[in-house]
Amino acid sequence: MDASMSQQPRTLEDLSAAVCAKVGSGAAFQCLNTRLIIQFGVNLKGIAPAQNTDLALLQRVQDALGRMGIRLGEVRT
């Protein structure tokens, strides 16, 4: 496993890359991204600079992804 995938993301850009690596860049990513846009105003395809390093927002987005079944840093068995 890539070492970067085992670390928690520090920015929304890092999170976006990790999600894309986990689910791919196709329809699944777009569906997740649309839900995040609706829920938090976060577009993982075009992250606003002010949002990128907002740690509280990053945590809320990670929590939402977890509720959607996307848990980063887990190894699939």
pLDDT in tens, 28-50: 999 999 999 999 999 999 999 99
DSSP character at residue 71:
-
* 0.95 exceeded by pTM: no
Contacts of 54 (CB under 8 A, 6+ apart): 12
For position 74, what pLDDT does the model report?
Answer: 59
For position 1, what pLDDT does the model report?
Answer: 40
Residue pair 62/34 in contact (Cβ under 8 Å)? The answer is: no
**3-class secondary-structure state, position 46:** coil
**Mean pLDDT calculated for residue range 15-19:** 95
**Mean pLDDT calculated for residue range 4-14:** 78
Distance, CA of 14 to CA of 9 (rounded, Å): 5
Residue pair 13/61 in contact (Cβ under 8 Å)? The answer is: no
